Structure 1
């Protein structure tokens, strides 16, 4: 039975109560989606104010920020008794990776060729194999056999960064291949269910739609305040990020016919476009180093197909 909401405020309260988002993960979403496009960093007091609408208190902000520093996401710069937080170079790379997958549409056209990554037998130890597998699976690659990974629409630039980072470029073969229909008993596409856990991802997308489709009507029924826009947009990206980072982003011809990822992306785009101006207005009022109308990068303005700034 569908849940009935009285207002967007009611929707927010129910989301926070039922989902109980972790403060550290919310801070990551706020940093990547709202702070990074406007400013190089944020004072602790400003971050505390930004997290208040999510019922995240000062103690949790301090604790979560400290953990993000330990994990390499943030760095802290002291100025007297005040602390300023900024993304590390590693944090920036992580955001570039994650948000590229969130804001860009799923691949549709495909030439039928696969990117194949193969480890050589010699010179690659178990720890290196394990690390490469983790990084490639994070990029959406599936493993069709031990040491052999495949993806139909791989980001070659990102793949090169991974191999260079792990110092495996000289010990790895990267091929562009296609099925030989005359000889192949099973096309690679038929292995999709074995290489990728598509059922689990589809379930997550359906849960996302169940949660956020009601918000679309509530946002259009009345003019939401800048703070409401900021909260909804943050919860939106927080939830969509969790799903999309598990999505291997396969082309339509490899996916099941009823794939819910496309509908989820459209809902996310619709809500984001309606909340972005107000959310940006709210964030700008909280960040002391930002002008009234910061100049946003081309990448930010191209999110979800592009939209005009405030």
Structure 2
């Protein structure tokens, strides 16, 4: 009898919970589900506004074009270069800064406050700021280098594809680093000090302390940071648009796959092919997220086997 009452109570609580979450789920489906579904629908059609309003069904032709398009592969190479540095390098740098800020030192509160400054800068303003800093005529970088005698003539930083991409990486890392640092700092503060004291008594060095204590205890937030940073790296747009003047240049040097999708859809007006590219980017995000989950899941299993 008691078991039946408990079961009824659980079902009632479940129905009540579903009733509370239903409005939010419906709104999310309307705001996200419909556009995504419509993009998938468009991707199966020849939806090019330059060719008129006759949107013919062409099946998987747009997806086949994605596989053979040299521009897509070139954009994917630039995206891979950009993503690896901003994701792995950015998160690693965030962990190092968070460890330093987690220590007690004079001015720690001020340092934590100053860390938030880049995060408060809007993406477009961030792009404008770095564009002015590296401007070939009036940029402060050229001014400093000339004053130090390192260069005699101004360098057109944003006119070189490699330099422009590296500036983009620096600007995006500078902008997103505070969020990652705060995330890692919050994770570090959740580790009891007694564990570190016990490790110090046992004679553990800095590397073993990090590898055996710090890293396992921040595994969850670290995985979240890598997933979120990977998503941001694949969808970067604002900074590219501002730095390149909307062209993705020079010589497509900063045209990542997401920016190529923008050019295809809104400049070339090939909405069918652009929708197929958007679906491909969405699948890429899911694959990268699954990769990080798999990596950290395997790491967790190895740790449990080692301790068990």
Bucket of the pairwise TM-score, normalised by the shorter protein: under 0.3
Q: Quick check: which has more Rg, 1 or 2?
A: 2
Structure 1 or 2: larger helix share? Answer: 2
Q: Given the two structures, how large is their TM-score scaled by the length of structure 2?
A: 0.25
Higher relative contact order (CA 8 A, sep 6+): 2
